[in-house]
Amino acid sequence: MSLTRAEVEHIARLARLELTEEELSRFSEQLSSILDYAARLREIDTSTIPPTASVLDTGLPLREDIPAPSLDVTAVLRNAPQVEDHQFRVPPVLE
């Protein structure tokens, strides 16, 4: 599937990218190649393959959850840049 120059310009505009003439040409080829590859993958019959959540063996060793005492608040806050009411004080991120 070959992308037209107009389609690549549209994609760049959506991504808020300013592309040079050389980049438009290069990305047109690269994006077309990616779409061709995706089309080839769609042709593969996967009906006999069961769905998987991971390709890795999920036999992860789990440890028993044993309650333990937590850290002392004073010790935790000792290196904090700012503390207020026994809590970390952080600058506001919203007005």
The tally of domains found in the chain comes to 1
Residues 6+ apart with CB under 8 A from 27: 8, 12, 19
Query: The CATH number of the domain where 14 resides is what?
Result: 1.10.20.60
Neighbours of 28 (CB within 10 A): 19
pLDDT, tens only, 6-56? 999 999 999 999 999 999 999 999 999 999 999 999 999 988 888 876 777
Residue with tokens 């047109």: 28
Between residues 72 and 49, the one the model is more confident about? 72
Residue 87 lies in a domain: no
The residue-averaged pLDDT of 67-86 equals 92
Residue 38 lies in a domain: yes
In terms of residue numbers, what domain contains 30? Answer: 5-42
Check residue 25 and give its pLDDT.
92
Check residue 53 and give its pLDDT.
67
Check residue 76 and give its pLDDT.
92
Residue 60 lies in a domain: no
